[in-house]
Structure 1
Amino acid sequence: MTAQRYLQYLPDFVAEYVEFQKLGEIEGEVLEEESKAKQEMEQDQWILTATRKGLLRRAAMMGLSVAETEDTEILRERVLSYWNSRRPYTFFMMQEWLDTFCGAGNYQAKLDYGAYRLTIVLELKEKEKKEQILSYWKTLIPANLVFEVLLNTNTHGKVGALTHGQLKESGWTYGEIPFADLSEYVRA
Structure 2
Amino acid sequence: MRKVNIANYLPNIVKEIAEFQHISNTENAEINLMWDSIQNIFDDQFVNTATVNGIKRWEKILKIVPKANHTLEDRAFTILTRLNEQLPYTYKVLKQLLSQLCGSDGYVLNINHDQYELSILVELKSKNMVNAISDLTKKIVPVNMNISIKIRYNQYSYLRNLRHMELQPFTNDQLRNEVLI
TM-score under structure 1 length normalisation: 0.65
Equivalent-residue separation in structure 1 for 2:57 and 2:95 (angstroms): 28
* Residues 1:180 and 2:175 are matched in the alignment: no
Segment of structure 1 superposing worse, 142-151 or 78-87: 78-87
1:61-76 aligned within 5 A: 61-76=61-76
Aligned residue number for residue 171 of structure 1: none
**Bigger Cα Rg:** 1
Counterparts of residues 115-154 of structure 1 (less than 5 Å): 115-153=115-153
**Alpha carbons of structure 1 residues 121 and 30: separation in structure 2 relative to 1, 3 Å:** same
* Contact residue 106 and residue 123 of structure 1 kept, 8 A: yes
Q: Is the 8 A contact 1:88 1:94 kept in 2?
A: no
Bigger RCO (CA 8 Å, 6+ sep): 2
Distance 1:74 1:179, change over 3 A: farther
Shift of 1:122: 1.6
Q: Write the distance in 1 (CA, Å) between the matches of 2:27 and 2:153.
A: 60
For 2:137, the aligned partner's letter is W
The amino acid of 1:105's aligned partner reads D
1:34 positional shift? 2.9
RMSD: 3.9
Over the matched positions of the two proteins, sequence identity in percent amounts to: 21
Partner of 2:111: 111
SS in 2 for 1:89: coil
Alignment of 1:1-188 (within 5 A): 5=6, 29-153=29-153, 155-156=155-156, 158-159=157-158, 166-168=161-163, 180-182=166-168
Q: Is the 8 A contact 2:77 2:129 kept in 1?
A: no
**TM-score normalized by the length of structure 2:** 0.67
1:88-142 CA distance string (max 9 Å, x none)? 5221211111111112222221222222221112223322111111122212222
CA contact (8 A) 2:78 2:129 kept: no
Gaps of 5+ in 1: 169-177
Residue 58 of structure 1, CA deviation? 1.5
**Residue 77 (structure 1) shift:** 4.1
